[in-house]
Amino acid sequence: MSFDSVLGQEDAVEILQDEIEKERISHAYLFSGQSGIGKSKLGYEFAKAVFCQELKIDSCGKCISCRKMEHQNHPDFKIISILENKNNISIDQIRELKKEIAYKPYESEKKIYIIESADQMSKEAANSLLKTLEEPPSFATIILLAEDTSRLLPTIISRCQQLKLKNLALSEIKKLLLEKGIAADKAEILSRTAHGSPGKALAAAEKENFFASRKEIYDFLTEIEKKNSIEIFKLTKKLTSLLKADFPCFDLLSDWYRDIMMIKQDYLATVKNKDYLKELKRLAAKMTLNEIINKLALIARTEEYISRNVRAKLSLQVLFFKLRQPDSK
């Protein structure tokens, strides 16, 4: 694996390769972009290229440094991520990073640390990291990965070189899925659901229940006005467990109402769920544009609540009762 394995991020790769070549590697980077877009992969391949003993601006995959990276035991590289059962990067994790990063590299000339989900650092952790970003050891590079940069302290952002990873085109994602041996009709649906993220598309493709659960959710939404409370409880219970398994419930829900909105405005070409076109058209005819916008806002708000650890099942129940109402404000 080398930079070639980072899909669709040629601009970012070019910038990083240029900096490695000119020996102008920054002390801090911020890679931003949605989940599954390739932030971790880019950080890892960057570190691998910096450490590689054979090649200058990419990795050979054969030298001792490359092999250590592949076996996840390179002593000058570390990934910090949210620990199991925690909901943010803690101050203790940053304290440990600061202690370790002060020591000179063991094998390379650089030390590279990746902080995943940097937009989910605790306040104390962020403030503590800021001091290191202000005066980093000369050999250290810290790469922050973030989906939502608005959650980062502006003072942190200003100390990082920011690279925004871009969403892939539908056709690029479809091509990737076809290369993985996924049938054309499924690849079509998955690529539309992935919102430009190859990682999301592949994760959905690997979920055995993806198509069955999608059908269950969309069949329910088709007839939502006829559903009683027991049926809503049953579905939200199922969605709660799907969410725990990282199933893209909210992407599917927002795609459904976005499709209705597109039909309402006669943008038929941008409809994602073309296999439900007839049902979507029927619903579009019954709803006002305002109503659709309110429902989309509700979905976004519920996703936000749940990401902030508000109880998922209850939030989903409230959401579906509101989605069932004609005007769900």
Return the structure tokens found at 131: 């001091």
Q: Which residues neighbour 266 within 8 Å (Cβ) at sequence distance 6 or greater?
A: none
The nearer residue to Zn ion, 66 or 177, going by C-beta atoms, is 66
Q: Which residues ranging from 236 to 295 are in contact with Zn ion (CB under 5 A)?
A: none
The three-class DSSP label of residue 32 is: strand
CA angle 319, 322, 325 (to 5 degrees): 150
Q: Are 117 and 17 in contact (CB under 8 A)?
A: no
The nearer residue to Zn ion, 54 or 327, going by C-beta atoms, is 54
Return the structure tokens found at 268: 């038929």
Closest separation in Å from C-beta 105 to Zn ion: 16
Closest separation in Å from C-beta 329 to Zn ion: 58
The closest alpha carbon to 14, from 163, 196, 199, 167, belongs to 163
The nearer residue to Zn ion, 25 or 60, going by C-beta atoms, is 60
Closest separation in Å from C-beta 157 to Zn ion: 32
The nearer residue to Zn ion, 73 or 85, going by C-beta atoms, is 73
Q: Are 110 and 76 in contact (CB under 8 A)?
A: yes
Closest separation in Å from C-beta 73 to Zn ion: 15
Q: Which residues ranging from 42 to 101 are in contact with Zn ion (CB under 5 A)?
A: 52, 54, 59-60, 63, 66
The nearer residue to Zn ion, 59 or 315, going by C-beta atoms, is 59
The nearer residue to Zn ion, 55 or 91, going by C-beta atoms, is 55
The nearer residue to Zn ion, 60 or 224, going by C-beta atoms, is 60
Count residues near Zn ion (CB under 5 A): 6
CA 123 to each of CA 91, 118, 126, 155, 228: distance values in angstroms, whole numbers, following the listed order: 8, 11, 5, 13, 43
| CA dihedral for 14, 16, 22, 24, sign (positive or negative) | positive
Closest separation in Å from C-beta 74 to Zn ion: 11
The nearer residue to Zn ion, 55 or 82, going by C-beta atoms, is 55
Beta bridge partners of 115: 80, 144
Closest separation in Å from C-beta 71 to Zn ion: 13
Return the structure tokens found at 141: 């590079």
Kindly give the residue spans of alpha helices, DSSP state H, lying in 23-122.
Answer: 39-51, 64-70, 91-101
Closest separation in Å from C-beta 61 to Zn ion: 6
Kindly give the residue spans of alpha helices, DSSP state H, lying in 207-288.
Answer: 210-222, 229-244, 249-264, 277-286
Closest separation in Å from C-beta 103 to Zn ion: 23
What's the farthest any 2 CA atoms get from each other in the chain? 66
1 binds Zn ion (CB under 5 A): no
Q: Are 254 and 299 in contact (CB under 8 A)?
A: yes
Tell me the per-residue interface mask from 207 to 246 with Zn ion, x by CB under 5 A, - otherwise.
Answer: ----------------------------------------
* 111-115 and 77-80 beta bridge pairing: parallel
State the residues that interact with Zn ion by CB under 5 A.
Answer: 52, 54, 59-60, 63, 66
